[in-house]
Amino acid sequence: MTPDEILIALTRTSKVVPRDALHAATLHREALTPRLLARLAEVVANPKLLEDDPDLQLPFYAMYLLAGWRESQAHPLLLGFLRLPGEQALDLSCDIVTEDMSRM
């Protein structure tokens, strides 16, 4: 898969986890890292994007991939997501905040 195909596969909610795209993402880590960081930064700056599009999954896959790659530039973005006003981070991410964020 190309980086563009990977991003497309990870963008929307699917009934199955896009394992092929996640594996391919690791192979294209260098090309995808800046794009995943940008997408995550965009959502932190404008969380309404997630409110307006509940099927949008790319920012969450970005969180997992960047954390797994130990990408240091993702750390302030993850903190920014957690600092969204009120319960917004929890409401937008469902179980990610309570189940996985501590490992990220």
Per-residue pLDDT tens over the stretch 39-93: 999 999 999 999 999 889 999 999 999 999 999 999 999 999 999 998 898 888 8
Cα(6)–Cα(18) distance, integer angstroms = 9
Which DSSP helix (H) or strand (E) runs through 37?
A: helix 29-45
Give the pLDDT band (50/70/90) at residue 13.
Answer: confident
Residue 46: CB atoms within 10 A of its CB come to 11
pTM for the predicted model, two decimal places: 0.89
Q: What is the pLDDT of residue 98?
A: 76
- Write b or e for each residue in 24-35: b if 16 or more Cβ atoms lie within 10 A of its Cβ, otherwise e: bbeebeeebbeb
